[in-house]
């Protein structure tokens, strides 16, 4: 692969052996003043989000809105078809048979809320995203298996290719590397 100019840095990435080491390192990095942190782990690690100072509660709200949209859509579908578009007297029941319309409304609520959870999670995570700078990290295929990675991203105000790397090297990591956005001029 050829690049006219050297690729931009994604950040500095350090590799750790265990979740405990990762959490300790994340805390130290944050204390050192870095804000744009991310960690890459094979399974969700509780406490990591607090250590890095990340909080996001949009997914539950999307699910809630999905549920409301589903309930409304489900009921309106039945109301429109049975009362407005094709009024049909069945056994003298009222056209707007509220209790009879409940099950479909209920199922639509769950259906839309579930799609809210699925699509909301993917959209907020910006997935699918087949390519990302962090994939250039050496040994990164272990991030989905048994290694734990901590990244300081290049868009952090305090980021400096040399200084940040030096700092990360002081953190009990197996390996620290400067990672570029695209492969080619690596290391």
Partner 1 sequence: MAKETLNEDLITGQQTYVSLDNTIGSMVLDGKRHKKNWYVMLGIAFMLLNGFMLAVGWLLYQGVGVWGNNVPTGWAFDIINFVWWIGIGHAGTLISAILLLVRQQWRNSINRFAEAMTLFAVLCAAQYPLLHTGRPWVAAYWLMPYPNIMGLWPQFRSPLIWDVFAVTTYALVSILFWFVGLIPDLATLRDKSTNKIGQKIFGFLSLGWRGSMKHWHRYEQAYLLLAGLSTPLVLSVHTIVSYDFAMSIVPGWNVTVFPPYFVAGAVFAGFAMVLLIGLPLRAWYGLKDMITMKHIDWMCKIMLATGLIVFYGYFLEVFYAYYSANPAEISLAEWRFYGPYSPAYWALIICNGIIPQLLWVPKFRRNLPLVFIVCLFISVGMWLERFVIIPMSLMKNYLPASDRFYYPTIVDFTMFFGTIGLFFFMMWLFIRFLPVINMFEMKDLLFKQNLKKEKEAEEKQEAGVH
Query: In the complex, which residues of this chain contact partner 1 (CB under 8 A)?
Result: 17-19, 38-45, 48-49, 52, 54, 56-60, 63, 77-78, 81-82, 85-86, 88, 90, 93, 97, 100-101, 103-104, 106-108, 110-111, 113-115, 117-118, 120-122, 124-125, 127-132, 134-135, 141-146
- Shortest distance, CB of residue 107 to partner 1, whole angstroms? 4
- Pair of tokens at residue 167: 């700092």
Instruction: For partner 1, give the closer residue by CB, 6 or 122.
Output: 122
Is the separation of the CB atoms in 7 and 180 below 8 Å?
A: yes
- Shortest distance, CB of residue 185 to partner 1, whole angstroms? 22
Among candidate residues 8, 6, 12, the one with its CA nearest the CA of residue 160: 12
- Shortest distance, CB of residue 20 to partner 1, whole angstroms? 9
Give me the residue label for tokens 């492969």.
183
- Shortest distance, CB of residue 102 to partner 1, whole angstroms? 9
Instruction: For partner 1, give the closer residue by CB, 7 or 42.
Output: 42
Cα–Cα dist 183/131, whole Å: 11
Cα–Cα dist 89/73, whole Å: 23
Give me the residue label for tokens 């400067």.
178
């Amino acid at each position: 692969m050829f690049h006219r100019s050297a690729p931009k840095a994604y950040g500095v990435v350090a590799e750790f052996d265990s979740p405990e080491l990762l959490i300790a390192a994340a805390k130290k990095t944050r204390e050192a003043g870095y804000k744009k942190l991310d960690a890459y782990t094979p399974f969700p690690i509780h406490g990591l989000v607090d250590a890095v100072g990340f909080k996001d509660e949009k997914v539950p709200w999307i699910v809630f809105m999905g549920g409301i949209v589903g309930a409304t859509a489900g009921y309106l579908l039945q109301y429109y078809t049975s009362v407005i578009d094709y009024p049909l007297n069945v056994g003298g029941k009222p056209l707007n048979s509220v209790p009879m319309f409940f099950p479909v409304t209920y199922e639509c609520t769950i259906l839309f809320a579930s799609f809210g959870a699925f699509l909301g999670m993917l959209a907020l995570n910006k997935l699918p995203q087949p390519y990302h700078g962090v994939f250039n990290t050496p040994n990164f295929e272990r991030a989905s298996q048994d290694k734990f990675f901590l990244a300081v991203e290049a868009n952090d105000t305090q980021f400096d290719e040399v200084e940040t790397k030096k700092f990360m090297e002081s953190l009990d990591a197996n390996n620290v590397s400067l990672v570029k956005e695209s492969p080619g001029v690596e290391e």
